[in-house]
Structure 1
């Protein structure tokens, strides 16, 4: 039996769900922990990295249950379908119940490793190693 006056993590989920309302896409993306901060979510929306049902959206675009959200963030595309609407950030297990993840599997780690990564314990790079790493990374002004 809950103590009177306390609000649990599921209360934020159930309140929004009962009203059948919508919520801002940037707020929802942050609430379900797809981005680290809400400002990162809003920036991704403004940059055209968020699509709702195939359309690029602004941060204030309302989303509802059943919408498909595509988010390109941190070099990876996330495709999620909204199962629940939440307004506040909740714990990771609760947040995972709010969407259905249809994202493609992440690429293998070998394909993601940046050029110039040295083996652990290989010691300090020599002048030759440093020049080779710079050659792989490209000109300094373009990085």
Structure 2
């Protein structure tokens, strides 16, 4: 006779490891990257550095620094499985201040081109002389 007992439904967990949640919410491509950024102090909860094994709960506020971007998000749902981007966006809500600051920084960087972005290819002979002359002004002991 087969064992036909019905298994109880898995309970929703009330907490998830921080590194798993950041990976599932698509802030980082891999869990290793997630763990490394947590160790470097780029992920904080209420201004306090965390460990990758820290359990987070719904309602926690996280500050995530990823490159030039700084996110302040409130955890809305928990998941330890990575899904599509639309599912990942339902896991958190970005604060309006954070969203405004990020759009302002993006707009400013769009308006100000990077220094040297108008140079294409190798410097000409004339440009090379100007560069050597400029460098010599800062360190006359070196002959560029």
When normalised by structure 1's length, the TM-score is 0.69
For residue 51 of structure 1, give the secondary structure of its aligned residue in structure 2: strand
Deviates more, 1:31-40 or 1:106-115: 106-115
> Structure 1 residues 48 and 123 mapped into 2: Cα distance closer, same or farther (>3 Å)?
closer
Which structure 2 residues correspond to residues 57-76 of structure 1 after superposition, within 5 A?
57-76=50-69
Pairwise mapping of residues 88-103 of structure 1 onto structure 2 (< 5 A)? 88-102=81-95, 103=98
- Partner of 1:48, secondary structure, is coil
Confirm whether residue 86 of structure 1 aligns to residue 84 of structure 2: no
Deviations 1:15-57 (A, max 9, x none): 6xx5242111111111111112211111111011111133110
1:29 and 2:22 matched: yes
What is the aligned length? Answer: 116
- In structure 2, stretches of 5+ residues that fail to align are 1-9, 136-144
Give yes or no for contact 2:70–2:102 (8 Å, CA) kept in 1: no
- Find the partner of 1:105 among 91, 102, 105: 102
Please list every run of 5 or more consecutive structure 1 residues that lacks an aligned counterpart in the other structure. Answer: 1-14, 136-143
Instruction: Report the RMSD for the aligned CA atoms in angstroms.
Output: 2.7
Residues 74, 92 of structure 2: 8 Å contact kept: yes
* CA–CA separation in structure 1 for the residues paired with 2:12 and 2:53: 19
